Amino acid sequence: DQQVKQNSPSLRVQEGRISILNCDYTNSMFDYFLWYKKYPAEGPTFLISISSIKDKNEDGRFTVFLNKSAKHLSLHIVPSQPGDSAVYFCAASEYNTDKLIFGTGTRLQVFP
Amino acid sequence: DAGVIQSPRHEVTEMGQEVTLRCKPISGHNSLFWYRQTMMRGLELLIYFNNNVPIDDSGMPEDRFSAKMPNASFSTLKIQPSEPRDSAVYFCASSLGGASSGDEQFFGPGTRLTVL
């Protein structure tokens, strides 16, 4: 049973346009959410996070939105660049635990 | 700092053989995590340590898997005997604290394991 779900295995976006990656979760005890980015043959690297007390967090071209009632979060990348082509993992943790539960990832391809 | 170091980067072995994966966390980090990545299940947490003590091993698939952290700078993940379904990329990650502290996890490059 996947507690964190990324239902779109892949996404293709034209350079300059907005990329929207989606993530759903089932565990209402999750209170901290993260996005990691992974290039081939490398380990994932942290991108951006959001606490459940917020509904939006922005860092440059990256914005994460959290909808607690829908148990849904999304990552917006504007404008998308070819260097953003990677696999994006959504992750979540429960209050006062160190465990991260990851989704299956979405492969983003940004084409010229 | 060199980041999280994992060895080997690639391992090909035959079914039934013992496999040992190694990890050196970032110096000063107190938490260490072992993950397995597969297409079907994404990144799964296998086990994590805090101050060298195993805290949660509920993700370890079965008794064939074991992990140790004898000191703050070294950890191993052992599979004995290995099976073809163990083929995956295994990542080690470390963090200053844990997710409860809001601390970022830093991942190593991974070990790609193929069991024939």
For B60-111, write each residue's pLDDT tens digit. Answer: 988 999 999 999 999 999 999 999 999 999 999 999 976 666 778 999 999 9
Mean pLDDT across chain A: 95
- What number is the average pLDDT over the span B52-61? 92
Whether the CB of B108 is below 8 Å from some CB of chain A: the reply is yes
At residue B99, the 3 state secondary structure works out as helix
First to last CA, chain A: 38
Q: How far is CA A62 from the centre of its chain?
A: 10
Interface test with A, best of B37, B44, B60 (most A CBs within 10 A): B37
Confidence at residue A86, expressed as pLDDT on a 0 to 100 scale: 98
At residue B101, the 3 state secondary structure works out as helix
CA distance B10 to A97: 32
Interface test with B, best of A98, A100, A107 (most B CBs within 10 A): A98
pLDDT for A99 beyond 70: yes
Minimal C-alpha gap between A100 and chain B (Å): 7
In the structure encoding, which two tokens stand for residue B66, read together?
Answer: 């074991």
- What number is the average pLDDT over the span B21-43? 93
Whether the CB of B25 is below 8 Å from some CB of chain A: the reply is no
The more confidently predicted of residues A94 and B6 is B6
CA distance A66 to A71: 8
Minimal C-alpha gap between B113 and chain A (Å): 13
Amino acid letter for position B94: S
Amino acid letter for position B61: P
Q: Residues of B with CB below 8 A from A99's CB?
A: 45, 48, 56, 98-99
Q: Residues of A with CB below 8 A from B41's CB?
A: 2, 104
CA distance A34 to B112: 25
Q: Residues of A with CB below 8 A from B108's CB?
A: 43
Confidence at residue B41, expressed as pLDDT on a 0 to 100 scale: 85
- Strand B74-79 versus strand B65-71 pairing type: antiparallel
Q: Which of A102, A22, A20, A21 is nearest to B59 (CA)?
A: A102
Q: Do A97 and B98 touch (CB under 8 A)?
A: yes
B42 pLDDT band (50/70/90 cuts)?
confident
Q: What is the pLDDT of residues A33-72, one digit of tens each?
A: 999 999 999 999 999 999 999 999 999 999 999 999 999 9
